[in-house]
Amino acid sequence: MNEQTTAARPKNQGFKNAVLALESTFGIDTRMLAMVGALLIIWIILAVMTDGIFLTPRNLYNLAVQSTVVGIMATGMVLVIVARHIDLSVGSVLGTTGMVIAAFQVEVFPIGAFWNWPLTIVIGLALGALIGCWQGYWIAYRGVPAFVVTLAGFLMFRGGAWLITEGRTVAPMDVTYQVLGGGINGSIGFFWSWVLGILALIAVIAVSMYSRAKHRKYGCRVKPMWAEVVLILIAAAVILGFVEVMNSYYKPHTEIPRGIPVPVLILICVVLVMGFVSKVTKFGRYVFAMGGNPEAAELSGIDVKKTTLMVFVVMGVLCAIAAVITTARLNAGTNSMGMLAELSVIAAAVIGGTSLAGGIGSVVGAILGAVVMQSLENGMVLLSVSSAMRQVIIGLVLIAAVWFDSMYRRRR
């Protein structure tokens, strides 16, 4: 017994050192790398089991579009959970805001008016913010636990979605609006996809050069140049590979490439904004501080209540954005929209490394989590796994992911 433990120690130590060396050279979280690795393994297994269907451009295009709704809401759920709260109402909020958007667009405003659909989006976003205010107020200023407030919201806003039209489905949506859902015309085409891809690549290079220069100016540690080049090459492969795949899926009965779907563009914008908010704004810093040590945050003079309220406002707005994509994709508003989405959103955040104890989580991780979940879902549909069985498997994956996470953190 003793011999075993002593023999195991140097090996563990070696592993730990290798991990630390990797982290300090590339400046990336190895946990994130492990997630990417897990995603690739899942993809390879699914590709083999589906005889390659899983990795066809058509399926990857669908996978990307399917991941957007959960992904968008998961970026907000990260902040909610990091701040030591939870939001069980996101699916219902999506339902209510989506129904309001649909009802205004189809039944209130004149159909075909050029201002119709943009105005309904504004109304939807404002309603999302308002709902966030309502829930955030009870949580932050009245001290009702988020679990209870959002559980109530889960019921209230699901009921609200039904009440708006007495349960009627509202359709069809504006033709231009449908583009936001990523349907047949819902992508930006061959040319603009490449333009965006190349611009993104230039931006990646510019940002990494800028931050190198800035690190140097302040005498902070800089990654070795080769590590920087490797990272840029990986980013280039991902960006250009993504554009190429999206351009390899054609519109039906033609050879016209679709290009990047509009909802995926919306997701990318949301990720950029939320990543920015969580990493380099005071608001994001305070959310993390509150999650790490609420008392310390308070003693540092942070307005904890206002910050908490704002977290829920952000979450509400993200639900409304997800509602826009959902209604555009369905080409309708139905009162069952977003049903049980809260579970997928929380699972995506947690699989993506957000700690339910608060203080730890990342927007990029949550997106990876959403893609992992959607890949399993999508792959199992291709394999004709029954929906009951899919739920069982996704549940098991959730436990496995959190177990892995806690093991990983304990070893550090």
Partner 1 sequence: MTDIPLIEMRNISKRFGGLQAVDDVSIDLYPGEVVGVLGHNGAGKSVLMKTLSGAIPPDSGDIRVNGETADIGNPRDAQGYGIETIYQTLALADNLDAPGNLFLGREILTRFGTLDADAMEAETRKVVHRLNPNFTNLKDPVRNMSGGQRQSVAIARAIYFNARILIMDEPTAALGPQETAMVAELIKQLKSEGIGIFLISHDIHDVFDLADRVTVLKNGRKVGTRKTSEVTKDQVLGMIILGKLPEEENENDVKGFH
Q: Which parts of this chain interact with partner 1 (CB under 8 A)?
A: 214-215, 217-221, 276, 279-282, 285-286, 288-289, 291-293, 295-302, 359-360, 412
Instruction: Please calculate the CA angle 354-360-363 and round it to the nearest 5 degrees.
Output: 60
Q: Which is nearer to partner 1, 83 or 100 (CB)?
A: 83
CB 349 within 8 A of CB 78: yes
CB of 301 to partner 1, least distance (A): 4
CB of 292 to partner 1, least distance (A): 3
Q: Which is nearer to partner 1, 58 or 214 (CB)?
A: 214
Q: Which is nearer to partner 1, 8 or 220 (CB)?
A: 220
Q: Which is nearer to partner 1, 25 or 293 (CB)?
A: 293
CB 139 within 8 A of CB 158: no
Rounded to whole angstroms, the Cα distance separating 95 from 332 reads 12
> How far, CA to CA in Å, does 215 sit from each of 172, 205, 223, 234?
53, 15, 10, 22
Rounded to whole angstroms, the Cα distance separating 114 from 137 reads 36
CB of 54 to partner 1, least distance (A): 37
Rounded to whole angstroms, the Cα distance separating 11 from 1 reads 16
Tokens of 404: 């892995």
Q: Which is nearer to partner 1, 218 or 226 (CB)?
A: 218
CB of 215 to partner 1, least distance (A): 6
CB of 294 to partner 1, least distance (A): 9
CB of 278 to partner 1, least distance (A): 11
Residue whose structure tokens are 């295009």: 61
Q: Which is nearer to partner 1, 90 or 297 (CB)?
A: 297
Rounded to whole angstroms, the Cα distance separating 83 from 61 reads 34
Amino acid at the residue 63:
L
Residue whose structure tokens are 């990646």: 204
CB 314 within 8 A of CB 132: yes
Q: Which is nearer to partner 1, 134 or 283 (CB)?
A: 283
CB atoms within 10 A of CB 33: 14
CB of 192 to partner 1, least distance (A): 28
Amino acid at the residue 137:
Y
Rounded to whole angstroms, the Cα distance separating 38 from 321 reads 29
Q: Which is nearer to partner 1, 296 or 396 (CB)?
A: 296
CB of 57 to partner 1, least distance (A): 38
CB 35 within 8 A of CB 353: yes
Rounded to whole angstroms, the Cα distance separating 205 from 231 reads 10
Residue 195 has φ and ψ, to the nearest 5°, of: -60, -50
